Every structure is written in C-alpha cells, then in structure tokens.
Amino acid sequence: MGTERGMTTGEGLGPLRSLGPVDWVRRNLLSSPLQILWTLLAVGMILWVFPPILRWAFIDASWSGETRQDCTGDGACWVFIKVRLAQFIYGFYPEAERWRVNVTFLLLCGLGAPLLFPRFPKRLWIGAVLLLVYPMVGALLLNGGVSGLPRVETSLWGGLMLTLVIAGVGIVASFPMGVVLALGRRSAMPVIRALCIAFIELVRGVPLITILFMASVMLPMFLPEGVNFDKLLRALVGVALFAAAYMAEVVRGGLQAIPRGQYEAAQALGLGYWKMMGLIILPQALRIVIPGIVNTFIGLFKDTTLVLIIGLFDLLGIVQAATSDPNWLGYTKESYVFAGLVFWVFCFGMSRFSVVLEGRLRVNGKGV
Amino acid sequence: MDKVGTGETRTESDRPMIRMEGVHKWYGEFHVLRDINLTIHRGERMVVCGPSGSGKSTMIRCMNRLEEHQRGRIVVDGVELTNDLKDIEQIRREVGMVFQQFNLFPHLTIMKNLCLAPTWVRKMPRLEAQEIAMNYLERVRIPEQAHKYPGQLSGGQQQRVAIARSLCMNPKIMLFDEPTSALDPEMIKEVLDVIVGLAEDGMTMVVVTHEMGFARTMANRMMFMDGGEVIEENTTQEFFDQPKSERTKSFLSQILSH
C-alpha cells in the first residue's frame, strides 16, 4: 500500500519513509479532484458547525459568579454547574463526611494505578487486595456506623459517587458471575446447563428497568415482615445480575473460539477441568473477547442512570433534578452537556484501557 | 496367567502397559472400531498404519480416553479406563500424547508450556520443573527457544516442543498421533529423529504414521488397520518382508511406490 501511494506522486522511495506536513496534506487531502472536493466539503462542515459551539461553550459563556444574575452572556452559564458541582459529585452525602468519599476514591486510584504498569512489583497482590479487601473497606468508609464513623444512609448517596459505586460493584461482581455462567452454559451436565441457559435468556430478555423495578418494589412483597434490604443493595444486585447475563454471552463467544486441540492437549497432560479452564482455556478466551467485555462494562456504566426509576439519584438523575430548581430554571443545556461530558470521560477511559490491554497481551502472546 | 493371584505376584515390569480387549466404538451409526484386541508391553514400540478413516487415530485416542469406547475393556498400566474421572486423570498423567497439530498453548512461553503440567499436576517445585524442562529442550535441540512463544517457532520446532512437553511429565508411554502429517517436508526429519532417539532409550510407544521408512527403523511391531479393524499385526521385519494379508500388501505397495 505504501509503495502504491508513493507511486501516485512519482516518488517510489519505499513504504516506510515518513512524510513532511506538506507532503502529507498533498497526498492525503489533495491527491485527486474528487478528494479535493471531499476535503473542501469537510472543511466547510467544520467551519459551519464548530464556531457556534465554541462561541456558546467558551467565548460567550459565563464562568464566574455565584447566582443566576452573573450569567450575562448569550453563551453557556457554567456558573450553575460550578455552584452545584459538590452536589453533582456527592449527592446528599453530608458535607462534614465528604472526606470519606474522597478517601475511598483516592484509595481506589492508589491501588488501581500500579496495575496499569506491567512491570510494577507485586501486582498480583495489589490486584487481590483491590478485589477482595478494598470493597469491604470502601463499604465501611462510605456506609459508616463503625469505630466512630457516623452512619450515612444510602438514601443520601448520590451523584457521580453513586454512579461509580453502582458501576464499580456491577463490573467487579458481574465479571466472575458471567464467566461461571458461560462455563455452565457449555457444561456437560444437563441440569447445570439448563439452569444457566434459563438464567441468561431470562435476564437478557428483560429490560434493566424491569429488573430494577422488580428488585425494588416486588421483592419486599415476598420477603417476610421486618426483613428489609437496603434499596441501594437491591439495585446493586439487579445491575450485577443483569450485566452478568450479557457478560456470559461475551465470554461464551471467546470459549467457542478456542480450538478443540487446546482442550485435548490440556486433558492429555492430566489437567482436570478447573485447571484446564483456569490455566489454558480462559486466559486465551478472555483475551479474545476483551473488546466485548469492555463494551459490556461501558454499557453497564451508562445503564446505571436507570436507577433513577427506583428513586436513586445517580449523576444524571441529580443533574436533571437540579434543572428544576426554580432559581436556576432554563439551564438544561448546560446540565446535559456537563453530565454527558463526565460520562464520556469515564467511558472513553475504559475504551483506551481496553486498547492498551489488548496491545500488551498481543505482544506477549503472539500466537493468539 | 497360569498362577492364581498373578496380579499380586507378577512384578510391575511384566504387566502389559496397554491392553485392549474386544474394543468397539461407534460414532452414531458409524462403526469406527470393530473388535480391537492388542497388548503392548513395556519397551515395545508399535507403529499403526492404514488408509485414512481406518480408525487408527480413534484407537490411539481411546488409549488415554480422549475418545470413549462403547464396548470392551481398555487397561492402561493396570488401571481400567471407565467413566471414573480420577482413573482417567491418573492414566493421563502417565501417558504422554503428541498431536498432529502440536496443540502448544499459544499464550504461554515454551518454558511455561513445559513446566505447566509438572507444577500443577505433579506439584513439582518450580525450579525443579524448569531444570527438567531445560534438559528436555536440550534433548530436542532447541534450548535457545525457551523464552519465545509458540507462534514464533517453525512447525518442526513446535512439534519438538510438544514432544518435550509430554516428556516433562515423565510418562511411561508415549502416544504419537500422526506427528509429522502437518509439517512441511523439510521439517519432518528433525521430528522423526527425536522420536527415534526416544525409541533408542527404550520408551514404550504407539505411533500412528504414514512414514514407512521411519516405521521400519524404530518400530518392533507393526499394525495395519482398515475399516475399523485390525487387518494384520506382525513384527516389523515380517510385516514389510512377508505380509500375511493381501490388503496389507496392496497398501504397502501403494504407499512405498512413491
């Protein structure tokens, strides 16, 4: 391909020669009349669409101040977002206790960051702590009620913090459940297989809203008097089960891509079922389906917004609620742009992480 | 056989390594194995040949239960193959197998491919397993590839690694299922040489192959199968020089004529 391109401009210097900026423009934007036309159209579109957006979001926007009256320009009123930012992040979590949310988040960053570097020492241990110990510490910190920490009811949780809690628990819980369900669906034991298929097809065929609604409204009706699960806990279980069904199908796709010879070689060496799966089959299968897994996680992250239906205020929910504040009526645009941007940052981060992970594993396991 | 309680008094060394008695197998309606009877003793090296579809691969795969037989008995090193998973896994530990498609684990380095079963199945300490692995890699003459991945090796090298991987479990029997059929012609010899080397060391082996020259040098027994049946079983010399069956003769003339 490289040589072909070189030939169109009459310089066959080989495919790997890097291009100067002028050359690049000439080759990629202006190489034929049709391409020139497309380039002009594209530039026209950009000039037509972007200036108004930039003007609204930055040039004419109001940034400083405390009240509605400070929003004088024709552009966006970011003052509104600024004033409400703490609520968007912490929900109704008491102001004096917000440090607990911060500590929980910082702990997550501190434990998670080393895992991004393949050569960091003791990564396995850090990962184990993150998966096994951290959730309990986080739950104790946020929930309180022990060792001097006042209890903060989950009904006060909200905003970005709630979104992250639901998405985080959903991701961490749905992954192993999905793997087990996928293995179960391919099991040789008919009862296990039937149970897994039934669960997956049932959960997958129902909207998340339905599951959340049932978990929130119908579950208490079947529980004995006095037994009462926390509303957030019910939402967490609902989200995790829902994501697990999707995860199971993604993982199953990976399992099906592994040739039979891999199973046979593992068996012929005397490995039992769990060792064969854990050491040979799953490491290869999961690697193949990283894009699908991350896709499911991103979907799950955005689906957390549906918890609004059972009266939990996630980031989008609380932003939406703020727009109906009589002091700040009419600033829905800013709210949704802000919420969209925050969601995008997290989802794009996950997407990039998936790309990095794929690249790293491909270098290691060339043959896969 | 002539004494009572021979199972107790016989030493381990004269117990047959593999014994098949009246083994039948069907794939649905298709009768793949018909009444297979054979005994393989310690140190014997048997080559199984026959046209494709004759059931030779199926038979060898029954020996470590990668395929189930439906009738008859298969006893490997004194343990009968039944549905008992424990027995199956115990037999698989003692029986090495090399496949046509190598089936190395592509996500692990050569070294880890070799150490995996000894450390996880035999519970061998990691360093000891690595030492043994390195010995076998030297033996198949590719110690310098230890830290590469299977995808970076040629077919012949991969098959030699596969042989070394089986040997690391210190098996009592080695099964080879057409070990050179997927190889480019120039790589066949390097793999066959390794197998001949094993034969010289007295390894008990069952080899399914079409390489008759190789069979003649390393086997001490030959078996010819066709249509799921054993047509002829003989010593290597007699098999090639005075085959008893007409079908063996015509098969040999076809395969040796080119």
| pLDDT tens-place string over residues B128-175 | 999 999 999 999 999 999 999 999 999 999 999 999 999 999 999 999
Which among A264, A266, A284 has the least Cβ separation from residue B107?
Answer: A284
Q: Which residue has the higher pLDDT, A75 or A203?
A: A203
Contact B64 A268 (CB under 8 A): yes
Residue A360 buriedness (CB in 10 A; 0-12 / 13-18 / 19+): exposed
Rounded to two decimals, the ipTM of the complex is 0.91
Find the mean pLDDT for residues A226-248.
89
d(CA B180, CA B211): 8
Contact assessment for residue A111 and residue A120, using Cβ atoms and an 8 Å cutoff = no
Contact B106 A284 (CB under 8 A): yes
Q: Which residue has the higher pLDDT, A124 or B122?
A: B122
Q: Give the orientation angle of helix A332-364 with respect to helix A290-303, to 10 degrees.
A: 160
Closest residue of A to B100, CA-based?
A261
Q: Is the pLDDT of residue B255 over 70?
A: yes
Find the mean pLDDT for residues B70-96.
93
pLDDT digits 0-9 by tens, A265-291: 999 999 999 999 999 999 999 999 999
Contact A265 B150 (CB under 8 A): no
Q: Which residue has the higher pLDDT, A20 or A136?
A: A136
Helix or strand (DSSP H, E) at A257:
none
pLDDT on residue A358: 86
Weakest-pLDDT range from A58-67, A350-359, B67-76:
A58-67
d(CA B105, CA B22): 35
CA-based nearest residue to A290, from A257, A241, A327: A257
Q: Is the pLDDT of residue A368 over 60?
A: no
The overall average pLDDT reported for chain B is 91
Q: Which residues contact B14 (CB under 8 A, 6 or more apart)?
A: B41, B42
- Would you say how long chain A is, in residues? 368
- pTM here is 0.85
Shortest alpha-carbon distance between residue B246 and chain A (Å): 36
Q: Give the orientation angle of helix A159-185 with respect to helix A98-112, to 10 degrees.
A: 40
Shortest alpha-carbon distance between residue A281 and chain B (Å): 9
pLDDT digits 0-9 by tens, A292-342: 999 999 999 999 999 998 889 999 999 988 888 888 888 888 899 999 999
Shortest alpha-carbon distance between residue A279 and chain B (Å): 9
Contact A262 B103 (CB under 8 A): yes
d(CA B109, CA B187): 21
**A189 — contact with chain B (CB < 8 Å)?**
no
